């Protein structure tokens, strides 16, 4: 059994039980488990015949009826993560120091594996975030110039290969400098963000929108001829005109 402990919650993460009596996903109060005594011991803990031990009346024995138990704490980055344990419904011979040492080694190996897995997940997350930032405009959250440029090249190549229409619309804010001068750059930033939000909602899933620079945006519309692109741009223009913009 490999169990994770969070506060008083004891959850079985992995279990190999011949009779199926212990299964992954089961949750108990940690004080009702044998692992409670492992944590109190702060190291390997074992019972070779629980019925004849000081724990014969403890809830862990009443609940699980395990006669033999050997467990050790799993600590990840210096903090207790859970417990690794082996158990049996039948008693066994008394455990010796070699058994406890071996149990500690198993748990320590798991310490390193869990920590390594966490580090790998964190690294992948950081790499994904870096990849996202490399393609995303920081202010609006849509494609940046490099990314929308790459998307345009992809769609132009596809349009040529399959003889399909593709349209590109360049959107420029009128009197944007005046907006910044009169209401401040926060208002200007919010206007750019609002446009990005509304354009993303208006366009189809196969369309793309990117910030080309400053107050300029690009709409990329695959499988769209000039007339349909004009209709899309007009619809977006009407949506923008009808939108309100508030700045906190």
Residues with catalytic annotation?
215
Please give the C-alpha separations between residue 95 and each of 48, 63, 120, in angstroms, as whole numbers.
7, 23, 37
Q: Are 196 and 142 in contact (CB under 8 A)?
A: yes
Query: How many whole angstroms separate alpha carbon 50 and alpha carbon 64?
Result: 11
Query: How many whole angstroms separate alpha carbon 14 and alpha carbon 2?
Result: 5
Query: How many whole angstroms separate alpha carbon 191 and alpha carbon 193?
Result: 5
Rounded to 5°, angle at Cα 31 from 96 and 18: 60
**132: three-class secondary structure by DSSP:** helix
Query: How many whole angstroms separate alpha carbon 167 and alpha carbon 235?
Result: 15
């Amino acid at each position: 059994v490999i169990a994770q402990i969070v506060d008083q919650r004891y959850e079985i993460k992995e279990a190999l039980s011949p009779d199926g009596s212990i299964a992954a996903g089961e949750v108990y109060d940690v004080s009702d488990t044998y692992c409670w005594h492992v944590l109190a011991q702060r190291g390997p803990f074992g019972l070779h015949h629980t019925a004849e031990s000081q724990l014969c009346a403890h809830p862990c024995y009443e609940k699980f009826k395990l006669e033999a138990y050997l467990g050790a704490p799993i600590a990840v980055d210096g903090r207790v993560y859970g417990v690794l344990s082996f158990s049996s419904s039948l008693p066994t011979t008394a455990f010796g120091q070699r058994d406890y040492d071996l149990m500690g080694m198993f748990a320590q190996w798991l310490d390193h594996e869990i920590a390594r897995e966490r580090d790998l997940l964190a690294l992948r997350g950081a790499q994904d975030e870096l990849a996202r930032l490399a393609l995303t405009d920081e202010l609006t959250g849509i494609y940046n110039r490099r990314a929308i440029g790459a998307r345009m090249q992809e769609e132009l190549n596809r349009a040529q290969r399959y003889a399909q229409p593709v349209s590109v619309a360049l959107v420029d804010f009128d009197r944007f400098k005046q907006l910044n001068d009169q209401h401040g750059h926060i208002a200007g930033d919010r206007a750019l963000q609002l446009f990005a939000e509304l354009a993303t909602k208006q366009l189809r899933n196969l369309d793309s929108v990117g910030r080309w620079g400053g107050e300029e945006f690009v709409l990329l519309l695959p499988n769209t001829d000039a007339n349909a692109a004009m209709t899309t741009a007009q619809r977006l223009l009407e949506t923008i005109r009808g939108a309100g913009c508030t700045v906190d």
